[in-house]
Structure 1
Amino acid sequence: MTLQQLFQRIGENPGFLLFYFLIIPVAAIVAGFLGKGEGHLSPWKYLYAILIYLVSVPGIFSVALNIYFFLFQRGDVMQTDVYMQILPIVVMLVTIFIIRRNVSLALIPGFDKISGLWFMLFATMFLMWLLEKIHIVVFSYLPFQYLLGIFVVLFILIYIGWRRFVAK
């Protein structure tokens, strides 16, 4: 089974996917009501961490898929799959917003690692896009120290993101 076939099957039967992406923000809302003002304490902060990871992994995958689809494949916006390309991102942002209203995200275990993963992913995707756009002709006109500087800055950004992801 290819990734395209999987997406097609999910698009044909979106019930489970809709339930999954509906239950997570609802759980965050319920946890916000039940643990009002206690989001930084032990059972709630771990519940929030689980909810953030449950929406962030598909959300990050969806962002990466969209970046690949629109920047590298030059896909048509009108062909965007709402279930697989838009819904995970919206639910991820909504869930993080709901959780942030009850507790500081800095107090959630593992949030620094997931934000480091986001940062590393976007820096890497930008680097890949830049490498695709820069052709060998550009290298001959661009002074070598500028090219070296660009790659050093991108490497530092990726390194900082990676350290935030694996540190602690």
Structure 2
Amino acid sequence: MGLLSFIKEAGEKLFGGSSAQAATPTPDAEQAAAAAIKTYIESQNLGLTNLAVTYAAANGVVTLSGDAPSQEASEKASLAAGNVANVTQVDNKLAAPAAEPAQYHDVVKGDTLSAISKKYYGDANKYNAIFEANKPMLTHPDKIYPGQKLRIPKL
């Protein structure tokens, strides 16, 4: 799938302040962060198999490998990993059936799913398509935050 960029300061706080902010990252801290990210991705129940996650704290890059049942699952795995605090990029090397990739939107202050829907689809009432495309990372249509990256599916 390739490399996606994210905002380092935004996202889920999976590995706490001290280990994530260490000036000189240790291999143990990186392995612990990778394990936390892997657990978070697996909790999304995306149907991934043979998932392997590495995290390089020095540049904030997460690398994913393994197998995804669909392009959508692969994209959701990238978003789950990237929408974690201190992650700046995700290198998605998951094998998935070929399909047209979705667009992405970086949430800014004042965004709502309705406004995003209006921008991409011309209809604010189609926000539920964006909400569904980002489940289970999104639990409610009103719970998005600046810096978050969302999948915008084709309709």
User: Is TM > 0.5 for Structure 1 vs Structure 2?
Assistant: no
More helix by share: 1
Q: Which structure would you say has the larger Rg?
A: 1
Per the normalisation by structure 1, the TM-score is 0.31
Report the TM-score, using the length of structure 2 for normalisation: 0.33
